[in-house]
Each structure stands twice: as structure tokens, then as C-alpha cells.
Structure 1
Amino acid sequence: MTTNTTTRTAIVTGASSGIGRATATALATAGFNVVAIARRADQLDSLTIDSAAITALPLDLTTDGAAAQAVQHTLAAFGRIDVLVNAAGYGANAPSESVPPAEWDRLFAINVNAVAHLTSAALPHLLASARDNQVADVVTISSTAGLSAEPGAAAYSSSKFAVRGLMEAWRKEYASRDIRFCTIYPGAVVTEFGKDQQFIRDWYATMKTQGAVAHPDDVARAVLFAATQPAHASVSELTLRPTRQI
């Protein structure tokens, strides 16, 4: 039996742009109720105009109490949490000797701690959903940098490797209780990632010249694929690269 999406509720972080925004739209189109979370309220407002199924929650998930606030808001709006999509992320690539401690802290606060805190806060409600509906889902957007580290990306890659460990540990811990954990590893995707860093802008320009870029909608379809599998099937890891990216 294919998982029913008609009454399922999803939380999507990083929903103001890029992969998070595309995922919120894709889930709403597929029949989910969606709570879209991001720091930029103006971008969220435009998202809710596009779909009545999307409720906006402007929120910085690195602040104290933010995870609990996200969960409470979702329960007040829809009474349940069936799917959590951790799509918020931050990227910075630079020679390691030039990365200050504050940048390491920011990378791990957004890419690791926010994922850990929100997922932990949502777990009791995901367990309730799994009991009621046979399955619940956590999908986290990582990066191919979480599979293979590259020079100049030690801080970023290590944060994404940490996410991989979190998701695999949770998958094993909750498999017998019907929560599925899926980690998606996108390659070069056209987003705002690294927009303030010349090195990353140059790399994306090269990828575009080679036709080696994917789009946020491609990743959103992968999220939907994972979250709508039959209850007995789990996609635990999925790597999505542009066809021409080596």
C-alpha cells in the first residue's frame, strides 16, 4: 500500500529559497499540509501566497527554544507531524588556516545542531504518527561533500559527515518503530549556496558552462519520492548529481 498523503503534515526548514522552497511547494502540491520555516519572513510570505496548504513560520532554528516553538506551532496548526524535512543549511569553503572559530561554530550550529535539536523535538510526534499511519519520515538534505571531503572544505564537509552519522544512527534506532530516515546528497544545484564567496561562485559558473548543474525541483522530487514510498519500504540514502558532474 502506498503511503497516503491526503492528511499528512510536513515541516520543511530552509523554505525561503532553493531546495527547501521547492520541497515545500512539491509537498503541498502532492497533498501535504506544510509548515515552512526560514529566517526570512518576506520570502515565506510569497510562498504562502502560492499555496494555501503552506503555513509560514519565520524562525531562526539556531536560537534557544526554536525547535520546541516549531513543533508547537505545527501541532497547533495541524495537530500532527508526519514528515520532517531538514533542508536548511549553510556553506563556506576556504583554506582551513583562514577559517575562524566563529565560522566553524556557525557551520555546525546550522548544519548539525539545528538538525539534531529539531529532529529530537519532533520525534515523539513522529512516533505517534508512525503508530497511527504505519510510517513517519525524516528527510535531511546533506551534500556530496558529506560523502567525499575535498581540499578547502574541511569545515563544511565535516558538518555534513556529522549529519550522515546522525541520520544513520537514528535510522537504526527507530527502524523497528517505523520512522524512516533518508539522507539526500545533492551535487551541484543552482541555489543561493555560497553566493557571498567568489570561489564557490566561480565553481558554479564552471559547472553551468559544462551543463553540470541540477535544480532545486530535482531534489524536491527526490524528497517526495522518499516520503511517499509504501510503508514497508525505506530509501535511506540517495545521491543526486547533475548527469555531467564527475
Structure 2
Amino acid sequence: MLLRDANGGSLYETLEFLHGKLTYLVGRVPLTQTKVDSIVEDAMQFLRTCSDAHFLDAVEYIVHSDAHRCLGGQQEKVVERLNEFLSVDDLPYFITKQIWESWQSDDFGGQSIRLLEESKVIPKDSQVIHETAIEPALELLRQPAFRHANAEFMAALEDYRHQKFGDCVTKCNSSYESVMKVICGQKGFGYTQGDTTSKLLRTIMGQTQMDSFWESPLLIVGTLRNKLGSAHGAGEKAKVVPEHVAKYALNVTASAMVFLNDQAYK
């Protein structure tokens, strides 16, 4: 109903758009085995019966920039309403906003804006954790200086959604290290690109006069990567990362990034 109203009362164009995207996703045409008269009916039938994962893929497709014609220029409002729907039913997902940045356009001889990051469907553990950890971290990472850290953290969230828990843990630490490097660079703390998580953390702790007891809890992100992540070879025994461990890695990484940023700029 929301997509119908955003497109002026019709779902035809939206379902036609989604059908094209979904056929590539599942690798077949038609999408369903049900006898239908059109690709619009095929898309609707698929969305009624598909897995949760594929339905979330469809939601993500429809809030991307190439679906703008289906939303009547109301992308931001549609994202807000979708998040309301998810919250009302206490569903463990959240849709991020698009990120735009200003840039100097040589073609037009002035300031312009360009899309830096599409909206994404990300996991949401609980409302409290989301509001106090994940959302503040996303707000921090939207700053231009944290562009690479943001890409790594969003990749970790995407890996979690697709149950790639080992990769999720690894990318959490990559984002954490990137944040610490940005802090060190902006504050003039001496560091090199090859510094490890522990060395970067000790640099920030020393420069901001933090008590030594903070080292152990703030180093847990790097420890999880070293022990469980996919950055190092498993050897003779495969590393199996459970879902709850990856969830913890996401939440503790978000909290640690915000904490260190606040500590450095307090």
C-alpha cells in the first residue's frame, strides 16, 4: 500500500521494476512455478511466498536510487515509513538513509551533490541497543572523514544479514581500525598505516590519558577478529562463528567506535 501510494496509486511500475531485479537475484524466469498472466503477477506471487532473505532483498532494491521513478521522489519518506512498519511489529531490521555528499563539479562549474551510499537493510538487535550503539555509530560514520570505515561497517552488517558471521567479525575490526586511524590523523597522534588494533588503541589511550583498565574491553574487537575472523587461516580446524557472537561483535564495535571518538574529542 505504501509503494502504491508513493507511485500515484499504481503498483504496476514498481512490480515490473522488482521483477527485473529479482530474476537476476534468483537466476530464473519466471520467478515462480505458478501459472500467471504477466510479470507483474509473477513478481507479486513471488513476494507473497519467497524467503525472508529474498523479501528483504526486494525491500532494499526498491529504496535504491535506480528505483526513484517508482517512489515518486519520496525515497526518504518511504524509508521512514518502512522503518515505522518494522518497529511496530518489532522486527529485527532497520533501513538506513541514503548518504549524499557535496563535491566540486567540473562539468557544471560549481557545487553539486552525489550519492555516496545507497539505503540498506541492516539487522537491528533491539530498540535500545540500536538507539544507543548502532545508530550513533552510523551517524558518526556518515562524516566524510570516516568514509572507508563506514563502507567496512556497512559490509559487516550486510555479512551478518546474509549469515556470513566470520566475515562479519573480520570487517568489524577493519572498520574499528579505520576509525582509530582517522582519530589519530585528525588529532595529530603519531601512527602508521600498518599499526595493529592494539597499537592504535594504546596510542589513543596514551594521548587522551585514559586509565589502563580500558585496554582490555576496548581490545575485544581485535581479539575476536584474531581468534574467530576470516582474516587468518583456520589451519586444521575450521572456524565456526555463531550468530550470537557476530551480533556481539557488531554491537561492541559500534559502542567502542563512538566511545573512542567521544574520548578523543571531549
TM value normalised by structure 2: 0.27
Report which structure shows greater RCO (CA 8 Å, sep ≥6). 1
**Higher strand proportion, which one?**
1
Looking at CA atoms only, which structure, 1 or 2, has the larger radius of gyration?
Answer: 2
Report the structure, 1 or 2, having the larger helix content. Answer: 2
TM-score (norm 1): 0.29
